[in-house]
Chains A and B, each alone.
Chain A
Amino acid sequence: MTTPSITANAVEQPLDRHASLAMTEMAQRAWALLEHLSDPEIPVVSLRELGILRDVREGALGLEVVITPTYSGCPAMGQIEDDVKAALATEGLQATVVTQLAPAWTTDWMTEAAKDKLRAYGIAPPHACASAPAGSANVVQFAARSAKAEVVHCPQCGSANTTETSHFGSTACKALYRCLDCMEPFDYFKPY
């Protein structure tokens, strides 16, 4: 899905004895350009804060931007790849976008600053998720409804008196909740 290529611009960078230094500078420029990119569905948090933008590095073919998908079927991934390329192109940089699956993305990577921004935007941020290690015996227990209901605080009024309307919401990553105190509906970013 990606087109490995290096631009004329990139090739023109001094690639001989200063190659690694130049690449570092290029990577730094790229980081700066990508810093402000946000998730197409959640414009208040950046890709880096969400943990989607994993790395900008020097690869065999030049600049490589490593992104990781959130949900397997997240339709925003194609848009994110395009956004990355477009942002770099504004300063004549071109990069290969590498999609890396492992380690699997988790909402635990989201920064505290990002969680605050989500809350201010009206989305309750995700709780920490305890992911079970591979092959652990409790895989069977996931079936049981024993899992204790998590308390999700209303991002509007802060109340803990909320209820889940639907585990599936406007995007794959969110559930629909309702506050029983201020009566406002809101999205909850599900732990993943």
Chain B
Amino acid sequence: MNAPVDYLLHLADNALILGQRNAEWCGHGPILEEDIALSNNSLDLIGQARMLYQHAAEQIGNGATEDTLAYFRDVPDFRNYTLCELPHMPLMAATSKGDRDFAMTIVRNFLYSSLMVLVWDQLQNSKDTQLAAIAAKSLKEVRYHLRHSRDWLLRLGDGTDASHAKAQAALDQLLPYCQEFWTTSPQEAAALANGTGIDMATLQADWNQIVDEALQEATLKRPAAGGFVPTGKQGLHSEHLGFVLAEMQSLARQHPGATW
């Protein structure tokens, strides 16, 4: 039994796009250890994406490979959460210039990792045995991604006035994007129906517990939920994804088949 291709792409795209975003810190980390930590985190995420793309490519056939899926699809084909594609800086137009905000990076990694420990844990029971195997590996990695981002969330939230304010601002901006976790996309419904996926709604209580406990410890306030529900996993993205893809895909498109 194989998971629906779009479902695999949803999981893969989340990992790839967030991995690409976090890799923007490579060479620019606030301290050397964080530079290495975020690069390690990206390496894991991109590795997870590769395994998922390879699995999807086998089902797609027609010459599809992990590379064609990563480099030769366009914005509407990507199925990642909008959360994963946002820049590391406070709300702005995509073409604006700004400084990366480490609090944004940490809060996003915390919110995403808190979800993925639950998702990968459940997907270990997927009827798609390859997906279950990928889940078992990914779970090991997302556990320490969560530990890393949670530790920093506490340090920033329960730190100085400036770090607290930045962490709170990042949370206020990013938490609404998590509403997308709980809606059901067509690919998620299809995966749930054939026993390869999971019912995301059943994870919400545990996710809330992980998030609320950490926020309390970090002396941060959870903003009220609004009505906004992002639609990235259905291919309707923010203006930011195109810029991520432009940078990530330019080399493969200008020099198809390039190796080194």
Chain A contacts for B213, CB-based, 8 A = 143-144
Instruction: Determine whether B237 belongs to the interface, using a CB cutoff of 8 Å to chain A.
Output: no
How near does chain B come to A81, taking the closest CB pair, in angstroms? Answer: 14
Q: Is A50 an interface residue (CB 8 A)?
A: no
> Shortest CB–CB separation between residue B10 and chain A, in angstroms?
17
A190 to B148: give the CA distance in the assembly, Å: 14
Contact in complex: A73, B133 (CB < 8 Å):
no
B132 touches A143 (CB 8 A): no
Residues of A within 8 A of B50 (CB): 72-73
Once A73-B48, A168-B33 are accepted as A-B contacts, the answer to whether A142 and B43 lie under 8 Å apart by CB is no
Question: Is A102 touching B129 in the complex (CB atoms < 8 A)?
Answer: yes
- B89 interfacial by beta-carbon distance below 8 Å: no
Distance in angstroms between the alpha carbons of A106 and B36 in the assembled complex: 22
Q: Which residue of A lies closest to B35 (CB)?
A: A168
A62 within 8 A of B: no
Q: A72 near B47 (CB under 8 angstroms)?
A: yes
Give the dominant DSSP class at B's interface. helix
Instruction: Check A142/B33 contact, CB under 8 A, given A72-B137, A73-B46.
Output: no
Minimum Cβ distance to chain B for residue A114 (Å): 19
Flag whether A71 is at the interface (Cβ < 8 A): yes
On chain A, the residues within 8 Å of B14 by CB distance are none
B138, A72: Cβ atoms closer than 8 Å: yes
B44 touches A143 (CB 8 A): no
A131 at the interface (CB under 8 A from B): yes
CB-defined contacts of A139 to chain B, threshold 8 Å: 117-118, 121, 206
User: Which chain B residues lie closer than 8 Å to A106 at the CB level?
Assistant: 140
A85 CA / B33 CA spacing, docked (Å): 36
Nearest-neighbour CB distance to chain A for B5, whole angstroms, equals 19
A interface residues, how many (CB within 8 angstroms): 34
A72-B51 contact in complex given A101-B133, A101-B134, A167-B144, C-beta closer than 8 Å: yes
Interface residues of B in 29-83 (CB under 8 A from A): 33, 36-37, 40-48, 50-51, 54
Once A and B bind, how many residue pairs between them come within 8 Å at the CB atom? 101
B54 touches A134 (CB 8 A): no
A4 touches B (CB below 8 Å) = no
Q: How far is the CB of B196 from chain A (nearest CB, A)?
A: 15
Which single residue of chain B is at the shortest CB-CB distance from A143? B210
Q: Is the CB of A104 within 8 A of B114?
A: no
Q: A72-B44, A176-B33, A192-B140 are contacts. A143–B117 as well, Cβ < 8 Å?
A: yes
Are A74 and B47 also in contact (CB < 8 A) when A104-B137, A134-B125 are? Answer: yes
Q: When the two chains form their complex, are residues A104 and B133 in contact, meaning their CB atoms are under 8 A apart?
A: yes
Which A residues are in CB contact (< 8 Å) with B125?
Answer: 134-135
- Measured CB to CB, the nearest residue on chain A to B32 is A166
User: Which of chain B's residues has its CB closest to A68's CB?
Assistant: B137
Query: Is A140 engaged at the interface, CB distance under 8 Å to the other chain?
Result: yes
Name the A residues within 8 Å of B129 (CB-CB). 102
Q: Which of B43, B48, B122, B151 contacts A135, CB < 8 Å?
A: B122
Chain B residues with CB under 8 A of A143: 114, 117, 146-147, 150, 210, 213-214
What are 19 A-B pairs with beta-carbon distances under 8 A? Answer: A69-B137, A72-B47, A72-B51, A73-B43, A73-B47, A75-B43, A101-B137, A104-B136, A134-B124, A134-B136, A135-B125, A139-B117, A140-B206, A142-B147, A147-B147, A166-B37, A168-B36, A168-B40, A169-B36
Q: Using A72-B138, A134-B124 as known contacts, list a sample of 9 further A-B pairs with CB atoms less than 8 Å apart, ordered by residue number in A.
A: A72-B51, A73-B47, A101-B133, A102-B132, A134-B136, A145-B147, A145-B150, A167-B148, A172-B43
